[in-house]
Amino acid sequence: MNNSLPAPMFEPFHRDSNGFDTDVVVVGLGPAGGVAATALASYGVRVHAVTVFPWVANGPRAHITNQRAVEVLRDLGLEEEACSQATPWDQMGDTLFTTSLAGEEIVRLQTWGTGDLRHGDYLKGSPCTMLDLPQPQMEPILINAAASRGAVISFNTEYLDHVQDTDGVTVRLRDGRTGQVFTQRARYLLGFDGARSRIVEQLGLPLKGELARAGTAYIRFRADLTRYVEHRPSVLYWIFNSKAGFGEIGMGLLRAIRPWEEWIAGWGFDMAAGEPDLSDETVIAQIRTLVGDPSVEPEIVSKSLWYVNQQHATRYSLGRVLCGGDAVHRHPPSSGLGSNTSMQDAFNLAWKVAFAVKGYAGPGLLESYSDERVPVGKQVVARANQSRKDYAALREWFDHTADDPVAAGLAKLKAASPEGVALRQGLYAALEMKDTEFNAHGVELNQRYESSAVLPDPSVGEEEWPRHRGLYLQATTRPGAKLPHAWLVGPDGRRISTLDVTGKGQMTLLTGIAGAAWKHAAGKSRLPFLRTVVIGEHGTIDPYGYWERIREIPEAGALLVRPDGYIAWRHNAEVWDADEALQLLETALCRVLDRPNGLADANADDPAAGRLEYSIRSVEIPVPMHSPDTTDA
């Protein structure tokens, strides 16, 4: 893979006739900032993405990449490259619970949808598999794509502050190599600058929750542990061991970064006692305890401490400045929701910003961002922290009256006695409860958006959930849900997903062969941001009948699918008259995009067809210019 990028640009940009150096400044180039920069550049928006760091993440950090995040990569044309860099799905689990890597195994759980009971659910729910893609591999994929598509990428560039007005944002930056301070005039500023976000702080976005409620030591090391794991591949190995069972989770962890030679060893510590001893001697001894092999010679790569946060913002934006990712939802990695949620924040936001920049939408569209993503951020913060607390039930067989609670408890756990039976039943019940972390398909894919960019279907009542909402995907074409995946057959006879014929920066009107009126109406409107897809026609045929089973509307009905793959509106009735279809479609588009009525049928000969001009008229008092001493971008 070629990781070379254009040199950062610090000379003054050429301002356009409206006085803008660029359309959007993106601060932060983690998974969220990378997706935002790539998507905006792909949509033809001028974007300048900056990071205070000299290159990508210097540690593995996030790694579990769920199906929805891979769908985002798929839409951006990056899925294949991501798969080539990742540990594949079938190598991600079983997740083991054992006394050490070389020691006695207690229980194991088939995780991330790889198990016999859930594998089909995951295959049915998405054209994409889950991946294990550590952040140092994810970020170059996104940054290279953004740069190759026209984004300006600046490393060693510190965000200082900004001032916004009704028409744009003036952003002040500092070249970390020379100390030069310079400004960028942009239409919008996007803050993906991490858990200590300077932009969130300057905006005064309201935050709920607490920081640093628990602490964990993470040691990155190299050692060939193939002989212990190649017959039971996983990316997570939990260790029940009295010498490693500290903190809230009460277990040690070995996480495979690059199977099976690069690892992270993790364990909790008592924050009240101060920072733990991370001397080489102590760390190597702890790694040997977790591995269960006193002869292993780990090569220590890095040592770090991180703290468990439980905090989320209740609003993500103010005027022309919009934030996402860890800046607005701060939580531990349990459940693997961090980078996945952050990437989806960016994907939700990018098309809305692009439509605003191009004049396709009014200001109400950007206001829908917080309405849609704040509930998701709140949900994942709660879920990730609850997942940590749920580990307590897996330790109930420990005998805390003994000098070695694990060894003594294990003897009772294996006993042929009523007590042993009860302990084993309790352990299996606790293991099943961990499905809410490791097989939480619904947590990952069941988001339902409620905002001005989603028009409810008046023909149906409130959605019901016959199965556990957190565990099981409930695919639906209700507005506010993600478009369901169904396999179609494309023009070359190969399978394509419904997700493949939507998205890509455009609104999509989806109908069937009987929906000729909708096709004619969309053609008459001739909007540059609207495509029509007729399922059943050549190139999008439904030979399996999968789409017919899941569409929930008549063949002559219609769905309006947003660029992020979520359904904005549906007409759950047959329409045969093209004029009626045009009126319905125009009304829906105007409401979803906050467009004045009557503009949907713009003249196709006009290169600015469908374009609106507006300014944000209500902005709170701008943040004064200042130069804080620290940043986290």
What does the domain layout of the chain look like in residue ranges?
24-85+133-206+312-386, 487-593
- Orientation angle between helical segments 338-358 and 364-389, nearest 10 degrees: 180
How much is the CA Rg of the chain, to the nearest whole Å?
26
> Given the structure tokens 């969220």, which residue do they identify?
32
The predicted structure's pLDDT at residue 11: 40
Please choose, from the candidates 227, 180, 211, 206, the residue with its C-alpha nearest in 3D space to the C-alpha of residue 11.
Answer: 180
For 477, residues 6+ apart whose C-beta sits below 8 A from its C-beta are 483, 484, 550, 551, 552, 553, 559, 567, 570
The predicted structure's pLDDT at residue 159: 98
**DSSP state letters, 226-243:** HHHHTTS--SEEEE--TT
The mean-pLDDT minimum among 31-35, 89-93, 502-506 falls in 89-93
Q: Is residue 335 within 8 Å of 384, Cβ to Cβ?
A: yes
d(CA 347, CA 75): 10
The mean-pLDDT minimum among 11-20, 34-43, 330-339 falls in 11-20
The predicted structure's pLDDT at residue 273: 86
Averaged over 74-101, what is the pLDDT? Answer: 95
Please choose, from the candidates 172, 176, 139, 170, the residue with its C-alpha nearest in 3D space to the C-alpha of residue 157.
Answer: 176
Question: pLDDT tens across 523-541, in order?
Answer: 988 899 999 999 999 999 9
Is the confidence at residue 136, as pLDDT, over 70?
A: yes
**Better pLDDT: 535 or 56:** 535
d(CA 421, CA 397): 11
Q: Across the beta sheet with 152-154, what order do the strands follow?
A: 152-154, 47-50, 24-27, 188-191, 321-323, 317-318
Cβ–Cβ contacts within 10 Å for residue 495, how many? 12
Question: pLDDT tens across 501-513, in order?
Answer: 999 999 999 999 9
The predicted structure's pLDDT at residue 616: 54
Cβ–Cβ contacts within 10 Å for residue 538, how many? 9
For domain 24-85+133-206+312-386, give the fold: FAD/NAD(P)-binding domain (3.50.50)
Residue 395: DSSP 8-state: G
The predicted structure's pLDDT at residue 2: 39
* Residue 532 DSSP SS3: strand
Q: The domain 487-593: what is its CATH number?
A: 3.40.30.120
d(CA 224, CA 226): 6
Question: pLDDT tens across 211-250, in order?
Answer: 888 899 999 999 999 999 999 999 999 999 988 877 788 9
d(CA 630, CA 173): 13
> Given the structure tokens 């319905």, which residue do they identify?
584
Question: Which band of pLDDT confidence, cut at 50, 70 and 90, is reported for residue 612?
Answer: low
d(CA 415, CA 430): 19
Q: Which residues of 87-115 are buried (b: 16+ CB within 10 A; e: fewer)?
A: bebebbbbbbbbbbbebeebbbbbbbbbb
For 572, residues 6+ apart whose C-beta sits below 8 A from its C-beta are 457, 459, 460, 552, 553, 554, 557
* Residue 581 DSSP SS3: helix
d(CA 263, CA 252): 13
Is the confidence at residue 417, as pLDDT, over 70?
A: yes
pTM value is 0.93
Element (H, E) at 432: helix 418-433
Q: And the tokens for 564?
A: 């992020």
